[in-house]
């Protein structure tokens, strides 16, 4: 099995594990086609040696979904619930293969574009971590995409038992987003400042921006698409700047001074794999250096939801919280790749 085939099949397995049989079937079919020297070999062979974190498999799936959402792949659309179709997994790849041949030149370009998601469900992990930190928050997100999760305090979190956190009137509703030992919760999370960066930020006020984000959502996960649309509505009323910049450039400026009376939080979710290893090391060093300057009156925290490989080659999505001035890093929760349910470990939290 060559590396590109393996990556297609591994991603297919991840899609099935995380509730998308349609994308599993699509990528399994693409892997078979690659081995047979079909159209997928033409589309992806040039990307075979790119870093694994660039996920050419999801770029292919997203490119095909884009054509469906634009109404330019009617046969394939019959299998895509995102546009009212019925997911028939046995038939999806043959239809997709014909679309690949029909739109080959355009797809050669589309698969060069980076995966660009803004998974709103990951706010369940971020909002819980902010509950742990308490106090006024200055929120900085790297790899922010459209910055939707910068508005996490404006979403509704229905914990059950008539407990609802966040904004009860929000169109974004996360039902039972937490499991296990919950953080000590209140409705006192106050985000005073919201800023983010991304190498290719997305503007959800434009039709192109909305199309880009929707195309990378797995087409049989309609609930995620609904959350995305609702979060775009929320974002239209809450300003948050997402600038075109890398993580190191952005944080070097934003962490030049830690303001007193507020906790500065650096947040990232399923983005670390896309950051060059050299830049990753530089960001880690920067945070450690700034952390030395943090005080109880001007604290710094890092919240991350990132995949970690475990024995056997699979991945777990783990939530870590690191806070300075002491610099302690704690594994506080496990989550799914798209967020809920977030299962809190009990580290740094209290029982509920």
| 206 neighbors 178 (Cβ within 8 angstroms) | no
How far is 199 from 145, CA to CA, in rounded Å?
8
> What pLDDT, on a 0 to 100 scale, did the predictor assign at position 348?
63
- Residue 53 CB burial class (10 angstroms; 0-12, 13-18, ≥19): middle
Backbone angles phi, psi at 56, to 5 degrees: -60, -25
Q: Rounded mean pLDDT of 204-227?
A: 95
Q: Which residues 6+ apart lie within 8 Å of 209 measured at CB?
A: 146, 202, 203
Enumerate the β-bridge partners of residue 319: 305, 333
Q: What is the pLDDT of residue 352?
A: 38
pTM comes to: 0.90
CA–CA dist 188, 350 (Å, integer):
17
pLDDT category of residue 313 using cuts at 50, 70 and 90: low
DSSP 296-328: SSS-EEEEEEEEEE-TTS-EEEEEEEEEETTTE
pLDDT at position 1 is 45
Locate 232 and state its tokens: 């775009």
pLDDT digits (tens, 9 = 90+) for 68-122: 999 999 999 999 999 999 989 999 999 999 999 999 999 999 999 989 889 999 9
């Amino acid at each position: 099995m060559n590396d590109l085939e393996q990556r297609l099949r591994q991603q297919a397995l991840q899609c099935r594990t995380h509730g998308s049989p349609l994308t599993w079937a699509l990528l399994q079919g693409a892997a078979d086609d690659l081995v047979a020297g079909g159209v997928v070999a033409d589309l992806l062979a040039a990307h075979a040696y790119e870093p694994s974190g660039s996920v050419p498999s999801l770029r292919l799936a997203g490119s095909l979904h884009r054509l469906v959402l634009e109404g330019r792949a009617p046969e394939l659309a019959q299998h895509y619930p995102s546009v009212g179709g019925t997911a028939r997994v046995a038939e999806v790849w043959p239809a997709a293969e014909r679309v690949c041949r029909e739109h080959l030149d355009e797809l050669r370009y589309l698969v060069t574009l980076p995966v660009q998601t803004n998974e709103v469900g990951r706010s369940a992990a971020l909002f819980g971590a902010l509950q742990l930190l308490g106090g006024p928050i200055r929120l900085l997100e790297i790899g922010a995409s459209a910055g939707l999760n910068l508005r996490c305090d404006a979403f509704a979190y229905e914990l059950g038992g008539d407990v609802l956190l966040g904004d009860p009137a929000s169109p974004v509703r996360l039902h039972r987003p937490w499991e296990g030992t919950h953080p000590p919760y209140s409705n006192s999370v106050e985000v005073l400042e919201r800023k983010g960066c991304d190498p290719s930020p997305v503007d959800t006020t434009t039709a192109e921006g909305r199309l880009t984000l929707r195309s990378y959502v797995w087409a049989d996960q309609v609930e995620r698409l609904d959350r995305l649309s609702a979060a775009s509505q929320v974002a239209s009323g809450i300003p948050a700047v997402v600038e075109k910049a890398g993580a190191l450039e952005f944080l070097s400026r934003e962490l030049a001074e830690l303001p007193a009376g507020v906790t500065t939080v650096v947040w990232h979710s399923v983005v670390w794999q896309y950051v060059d290893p050299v830049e990753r090391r530089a960001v880690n060093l920067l945070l450690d250096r700034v952390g030395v300057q943090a005080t109880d009156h001007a604290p710094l925290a890092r919240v991350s939801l990132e995949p970690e490989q475990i024995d056997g080659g699979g991945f777990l999505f783990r939530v870590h919280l690191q806070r300075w001035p002491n610099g302690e890093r704690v594994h506080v929760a496990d989550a799914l790749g798209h967020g809920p349910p977030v299962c809190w470990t009990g580290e740094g939290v209290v029982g509920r």
